[in-house]
Structure 1
Amino acid sequence: MKPWAPFVLALSVVSGVFAASSSAEKLQKYQSLSRSGPVDLDSAAFEELTSAPRDYFTAVILTAKDARYGCLMCREFDSEWNFISRSWNKGSKPDDLKMVFGTVDFDQGKAVFQKLPLFSYSPPTFGPFAKVETDPARFDFTGPLSADQLYAWISRHLPDGPIPPLVRPINYMRIISAITILMGVVTLFTVLSPYVLPIIQNRNLWAAISLIAVLLFTSGQMFNHIRKVPYVAGDGRGGISYFAGGFQNQFGMETQIVAAIYAVLSFATIALAVKVPRMEDVKGQQVAVLIWGGLLFGTYSLLLSVFKTKNAGYPFYLPPF
């Protein structure tokens, strides 16, 4: 054993003690400032917090909340960042897993903005969780961000083991607002029920709504929304084509025409089946049968003509179309 080895060993022990003491003092100082959220830092405080030696993790976000900087994301994420810090400080965690959350505003730390990304995360420089690579890990803000996303990223960089969960505080105002709105709806329904219930229970109203829905869906409205079909198209001769060839294609205007044809056929059938038999005038009833029957015949002839337009090989038709 070399004669100067004991002195080196003693010096290393003393330096370790001083390092631990310095780190503990810094940690205690900044933990006392972060009871209700992240510590507000300026350039000097940031340098002190992140300087070696330290046996704790640091997570620091750079922000510019003043309205003159126009950083909407900074103002929106501020509450989420405070939520992360409070959850960590109040949650249960291993005694040797220590972390300090901080915030550097642009007005207070312009020098920090020149050398760090918007979010920096640094491991301890000594202790059980120290790493050889002490450069801050960076997280890129690429768009709207929630506390859960950033906390999940931080968790992946922490040592294996239990960490405090994110527990959002109960939003009493939202609960009170929901109860108030519900009570208002119930009160309004109670007051208006003598007038509204007869309308809601009307069979003719529901029959009309059902018929309109059936006409819309059978005419191809859902197909148009899924395929994003054009409204009309050119026919290649300077004109407009309202009907697309083939059964796998259609235009928006075509859907409306077919829906109108279906509607006329439906109402003509309903009139012949329901309204005409209730007519007391025999001659008027006969005239109504001829009118509604002729309308039904002509409209169905038009529908067959449209069908033949889409499929030129269809052999049948019905006069006059």
Structure 2
Amino acid sequence: NLLAEKVEQLMEWSSRRSIFRMNGDKFRKFIKAPPRNYSMIVMFTALQPQRQCSVCRQANEEYQILANSWRYSSAFCNKLFFSMVDYDEGTDVFQQLNMNSAPTFMHFPPKGRPKRADTFDLQRIGFAAEQLAKWIADRTDVHIRVFRPPNYSGTIALALLVSLVGGLLYLRRNNLEFIYNKTGWAMVSLCIVFAMTSGQMWNHIRGPPYAHKNPHNGQVSYIHGSSQAQFVAESHIILVLTS
């Protein structure tokens, strides 16, 4: 049975890695060719160093978190798999799909061709694992609870800040007039206003890429073409212009 053989092979790959790499032949056999009774999430990317795609590396980290969350969950089954196609390993796939940007996430359903909604709107939503999980739930009805590895950088930064402020107050304990300095507080307020008006909070919530690089011609875009999204670099440009 061809379908059983394909599923068995995919399960074997999944047992070794939560994301398996596809070249042109594997893509056509396991994703494009019937029969299929499983959904496949594919990240089209360009991870080779010579491509200099920092956004691809960032998206890959989030994709890995998502795939690991699915692979090691109790709900894991043979109805959903995660794979990737690197531009340098599957140039023919990019050409076949007329794809000219990376990273791009697509869902290939068990039956029929992918629809417009099966391409993840990365430019508008960002590539955070949680956002990808919501999109997958909409397309496949498979709900993935994202588990992130512990990150203590925020706690360490907060501890350092508290220590710094505490040390400063202790050293200046006999002269705390600087706390009432209007100029200082005005500068702090302006910094917060400039950061918020430039879209830093939107970046924090959505997790957009810093910029977009076309893998074919290497052209880098720092300004998003849509009025409903932005790049991190765009926020920095606005911050400099407004300040």
Unmatched tracts of structure 1, length 5 or more: 1-17, 125-130, 214-321
Q: Is the 8 A contact 1:19 1:54 kept in 2?
A: no
Instruction: Work out whether residues 62 and 127 of structure 2, in 8 Å CA contact, stay in contact via their aligned partners in 1.
Output: yes
Contact 2:137 2:144 in 1 (8 A): no
CA–CA distance in structure 2, aligned partners of residues 157 and 144 of structure 1 = 16
The answer to whether the 8 Å contact 1:19/1:53 transfers is yes
Tell me the number of residue pairs that the alignment of Structure 1 and Structure 2 aligns.
175
Report the equivalent of 2:165: 185
Contact preservation (8 Å) 2:45, 2:85 = yes
C-alpha distance in 1 between matches for 2:20 and 2:173: 56
Within 2, Cα distance between the matches of 1:168 and 1:56?
26
Q: How does 1:167-316 map to 2 (within 5 A)?
A: 167-195=147-175, 197=176, 199-200=177-178, 209=182
Residue number in structure 2 paired with 1:122: 108
Query: Does structure 2 conserve the Cα–Cα contact (< 8 Å) formed by 1:62 and 1:119?
Result: yes
| Matching of residue 49 in structure 1 with residue 30 in structure 2 | yes
1:59 matched residue in structure 2: 41
The one-letter amino acid paired with 1:21 is: A
Q: TM-score, normalised by structure 2?
A: 0.60
Gaps (5+ residues) in structure 2?
Answer: 187-243
Q: Over aligned residue pairs, what C-alpha RMSD do you find?
A: 3.0
How far apart in 2 are the matches of 1:185 and 1:28? Answer: 53
- The answer as to whether partners of 1:26 and 1:49 remain within 8 angstroms in 2 is no
Shift in alpha-carbon separation, 1:184–1:57, aligned structure 2, 3 A: same
1:75 equivalent to 2:61? Answer no
Question: Is 1:30 the equivalent of 2:13?
Answer: yes
The answer to whether 1:85 aligns with 2:67 is yes
Measured in 1, the distance between the counterparts of 2:76 and 2:67 equals 16
Asked if the contact 1:22/1:53 (under 8 Å) is kept, the reply is no
Contact 2:59 2:127 in 1 (8 A): yes
- Alpha-carbon shift at residue 110 of structure 1 (Å): 0.7
- Per-residue deviation at 1:87? 1.8
Contact 2:21–2:83, Cα closer than 8 Å, also in 1: yes
Alignment-derived partner of residue 254 in structure 1? none
- The aligned amino acid for 1:146 is F
Structure with the greater relative contact order (CA < 8 A, sep ≥ 6): 1 or 2? Answer: 2
The answer to whether the 8 Å contact 1:60/1:102 transfers is yes
Give the TM-score taking structure 1 as reference length: 0.47
Give 1:98's match in structure 2, choosing from 63, 79, 88.
79
Q: Which residue of 2 aligns with 1:138?
A: 119
For the pair shown, which has the larger CA radius of gyration, 1 or 2?
1
**Alignment-mate amino acid for residue 13 of structure 2:** Y
Within the alignment, does 1:109 sit opposite 2:90 as a pair?
A: yes
How big is the shift at 1:182? 2.0
Aligned match of 1:319: none
